[in-house]
């Protein structure tokens, strides 16, 4: 197995079996209180949770978020979860296509269109790797797997702890500017577990990026994942920075304030988390590690059951806030409290 393949295999095993959650930091979504409406004047059947994202209609604002690719086990995960996304009407995100870039023979592990012909599919490449490739090459990478949009991910915290990780992050902003102007599919600036600060969101918007997947702090710590793979000084640094990042709730608000269309990922576990994210301004929310664990423990039926519960919880919150649509939920009265208010008091 190649070095990248081994890393992908390690990631899947660690995320499925180890405790790599943030240790002290939370998403701060618990600081968002939605006001109860005792007279919603709605029936459950009246609710319409559908949204349109990148030209595709989703039955509910739920994405199976980026996880994996590049190995046979990764292919099995991708194919099964993509099939569930197709049946449920959700979106689906692929893991980093770096393995596919390095070893084209692994492309089949990312090929989900056979299982999800109408699903919203998001491709994925690292901005550091994108910096070194022509736009036409990356456009082909997206089209080869039938992607509707391409996530271009930022992950400096993760890379700096990863034993074989990148150490040079220069030129990334200019890369976003180039790709946004030149690719034939929309570009999504995506973090990988450390969230989006106001300055980052603003600079991305200034170079033309319209879409951000915040992947905020409070869910899976990818610094933590790499810490479990690291040794020596890398491991020591990772232990110290395990909880590094901007919480998901704050990241959503920062990105929305900068003018982006926002996908909320990072610690989304329940329908209430989805609802709170939408109330803060997200267009949709993505779930990754809890779904991988549900798939490992209960197969496709277990993963489908998990998502059914998330959607049912979301619909329940919509009714209890008098929100017939997702747009109504975005306007629903809410109270922001606790530590989230401190983060949103940040000036710059």
Of the pLDDT bands very low, low, confident and very high (cuts 50, 70, 90), residue 18 is confident
Judge whether 294 lies within some domain: yes
104 is in which domain, residue-wise?
A: 3-335
The pair of structure tokens assigned to 153 is: 């991910």
Q: Does the residue 347 lie in any domain?
A: no
Q: How many domains does the chain have?
A: 1
Domain membership flag for residue 83: yes
The answer as to whether 348 is a domain residue is: no
Q: Residue 4's pLDDT band (boundaries 50, 70, 90)?
A: low
> Residue 207: inside a domain, yes or no?
yes
Residue 3 has pLDDT above 70, yes or no: no
For the stretch 217-272, pLDDT in tens is 999 998 999 999 999 999 999 999 999 999 999 999 999 999 999 999 999 999 99
Neighbours of 126 (CB within 10 A): 23
- The pLDDT value given to residue 5: 61
Instruction: Classify the C-alpha dihedral 174-242-67-205 as positive or negative.
Output: negative
Element (H, E) at 182: helix 172-182
CATH at residue 138: 3.20.20.70
**Domain-located, residue 341:** no
**1 pLDDT band (50/70/90 cuts)?**
low
pTM: 0.95
Residue 348 confidence (pLDDT) above 80: no
Predicted pLDDT at 6? 77
- For residue 146, tell me if it sits in a domain: yes
Which of 255, 173, 167, 246 lies closest to 211 in space, CA to CA? 255
Has residue 345 been placed in a domain?
no
Task: State how far the alpha carbon of 30 is from the alpha carbons of 183, 214, 253, 275, 340, in Å.
Answer: 38, 17, 14, 11, 9
């Amino acid at each position: 197995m190649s070095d990248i393949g081994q890393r992908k295999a390690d990631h899947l095993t660690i995320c499925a079996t180890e405790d790599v959650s943030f240790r002290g930091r939370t998403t701060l979504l618990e600081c968002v209180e939605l006001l109860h409406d005792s007279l919603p004047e709605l029936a459950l059947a009246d609710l319409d949770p559908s949204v349109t994202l990148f030209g595709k209609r989703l039955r509910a604002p739920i994405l199976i978020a980026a996880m994996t690719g590049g190995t046979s086990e990764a292919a099995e995960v991708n194919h099964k979860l993509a099939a569930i996304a197709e049946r449920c009407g959700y979106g689906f995100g692929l893991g980093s296509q770096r393995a596919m870039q390095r070893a084209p023979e692994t492309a089949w592990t990312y090929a989900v269109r056979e299982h999800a012909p109408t699903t919203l599919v998001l491709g994925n490449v690292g901005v550091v790797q994108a910096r070194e490739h022509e736009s036409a090459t990356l456009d082909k990478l997206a089209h080869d797997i039938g992607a509707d949009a391409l996530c271009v991910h930022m992950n400096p915290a993760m890379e700096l702890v990863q034993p074989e990780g990148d150490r040079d992050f220069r030129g990334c902003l200019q890369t976003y500017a180039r790709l946004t102007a030149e690719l034939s599919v929309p570009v999504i600036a995506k973090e990988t577990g450390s969230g989006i600060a106001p300055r980052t969101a603003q600079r991305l918007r200034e170079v033309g990026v319209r879409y951000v997947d915040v992947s905020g702090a409070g869910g899976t710590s990818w610094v933590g994942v790499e810490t479990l793979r690291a040794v020596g000084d890398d491991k020591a640094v990772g232990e110290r920075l395990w909880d590094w990042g901007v919480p998901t709730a704050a990241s959503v608000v920062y990105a929305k304030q900068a003018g982006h269309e926002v996908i909320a990922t990072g610690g989304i576990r329940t329908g209430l988390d989805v609802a709170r994210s939408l109330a803060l301004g997200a267009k949709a929310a993505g779930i990754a590690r809890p779904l991988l664990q549900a798939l490992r423990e209960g197969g496709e039926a277990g993963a489908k059951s998990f998502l059914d519960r998330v959607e049912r919880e979301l619909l329940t919150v919509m009714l209890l806030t008098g929100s017939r649509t997702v747009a109504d939920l975005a306007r629903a009265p809410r109270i922001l409290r606790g530590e989230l208010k401190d983060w949103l008091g940040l000036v710059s």
